[in-house]
Structures are given as structure tokens and as C-alpha cells.
Amino acid sequence: MRMRLSGVEEILVVDDSPDDLRLLSQLLQAENYQVRPVLSASEAFAALEIQLADIILLDVRMPGMDGFELCRQLKANERTADIPVIYMSAVNETEDVVRGLQLGAVDYLVKPLKPAEVLARIAVHLDICRVYSELEQRNQSLRKINQQLEGIIDNFEESSGPPKSSRVSKKSSKRGAEGTVKLTARELDCLSLLAQGYRTVQIADQLNIKPVTVEFHLANVRNKLEAKTREQALVTAIMQGLMEPAFH
């Protein structure tokens, strides 16, 4: 996830109501966010082609392509898949909420919107993205350091180690140890609840921790399992016998 770790965060607001766009833009600009309001899915695609956003506020009920389909296409595109999407809808039906979250949205706001709630939800998800982005940068640095250390060890073994046959055996066993992934109890807790369909905020409630901490644990899991998405991490964890499949 690309995040501005300093400076002004950019929010893309997609809503077919000019009045709602105007009110949201005023609210967000007053909090020093940079706002790009658009009236349709096609305008949203065009805006994201020019510049990615840090978060998207997305109306569900729109003519033409609705918010559900727009979110589905955004999550299917590697370039936009990591942008957090918060739905906005006047319909507070459980089916709509569940469908939206299953398509990859991180949250759901019910209209008429409450300014304090809108700002609080945005702040939480931007904080989560910021932590995740910082963690990704640290993981990249650690991977580079590990590669450098492995090169030093291999060079040392080549110059002063035992006969070649012994070295090959040693390297094979080393790779075997690296292939054994170990998840902490808390990481397994988060992954298990994720497999049951819980979202970040709900997992945090279940475990009595902060949403940012949940994202931290899940990011660690993805890194350990070398998975690009949470879904891939779940499949990998089950295939490796780290957890049992969730049945509903």
C-alpha cells in the first residue's frame, strides 16, 4: 500500500449526489485532507488513472455501475487493490453490509452521515494503512539485510568450510529450517477469526486489542507466508497445517 507518511492524505469521494459531494468535501477539507469529488464510477476510474488516492469513500447506490461493482473491479486491479474503500449508503441492510465487506471494503457508513463518525472512521483506516506501509518498508529492509548475511555466510563456507558434499547437505538443511513457518498465538488468533469472516474492527473487538494491532499481526502473517493477500495467507496456512479450515 502506497501511503503518504508525511503531507496531506488524498481522499477520493464517489457519489452521484452533488449536494452530498459538496458537504463531504467541505467536511474533509476543513480537516486538511485533499479531496477529489467525482459523480460516477467512470469518473472514479479516470481520477485513479491520473493519481491514486489514500482512501475512497464510495456511495453504493449509483446509476450505471453501482458501488459494489466499482469496488469489485478496484480490488481485482493490482494497482488499486490496496486502497481502503469505505461504503456509504442510505440502506442499512445486513445483506448489503456483508456483501460490501466481502467485496473488499474496510468499513460501511450509513446515511445520513454523521461528521464525527466519518472523520473517526477515516482516521482509523488511514492509521492502519500508515502502520502497514511502515511495516512493509521495514520488512523490505530486513529482507535485504538477510540476503546480505546469507551471502556473507555462503562466501565464508566456500572459503573455509568442510568438503563440498558436506556444504550442500548443510545448505539443504538450512533451507528446510527456513521453510518451517512459525506463527505466534496472537497471529493465529487473528488469522482464525479472519477465516470466519470477521473484519479488522470485529477481530479487534473479539481479541480486545486495537485495529492497528490486528493489521500489524496480519501483515506479519502475510510476510511469513510470502502471501500477497490475506486470502492467499489463509490458503497457505491451511495447506501447511498451521490452522484448520473454518466451517460455517
- DSSP letter for 39, please: S
Q: What kind of fold does domain 178-248 have according to CATH?
A: Arc Repressor Mutant, subunit A (1.10.10)
Task: Tell me yes or no: is domain 10-128 CATH 3.30.460.80.
Answer: no
| Residue 129, CB-side half-sphere exposure with 13 Å CA sphere | 24
Q: Which of 93, 112, 90, 100 is nearest to 70 (CA)?
A: 100
- DSSP letter for 38, please: E
| DSSP per position, 47-108 | HHHH---SEEEEES--SSS-HHHHHHHHHHSTTTTTS-EEEEES---HHHHHHHHHTT-SEE
* pTM metric for this prediction: 0.57
180-235: pLDDT as tens digits? 678 898 999 998 898 888 889 999 999 999 888 999 989 999 898 888 888 888 88
| DSSP per position, 195-233 | HTT--HHHHHHHHTS-HHHHHHHHHHHHHHHT-SSHHHH
Helix/strand/coil percent split, the chain, to 5: 60, 10, 30
Domain assignments of the chain as residue spans, ordered by start:
10-128, 178-248
Question: What is the C-alpha separation between 248 and 198, in angstroms, rounded?
Answer: 12
What is residue 151's predicted lDDT score, i.e. its pLDDT?
62
Non-local CB neighbours of 97 within 8 Å, separated by 6+ positions? 108
Q: Which of 243, 221, 241, 240 is nearest to 230 (CA)?
A: 221
What is residue 231's predicted lDDT score, i.e. its pLDDT?
82
Intrachain domains 10-128 and 178-248 with the same fold: no
Indicate the pLDDT class of residue 139, thresholds 50, 70 and 90. Answer: confident
Mean pLDDT for 102-111 is 92
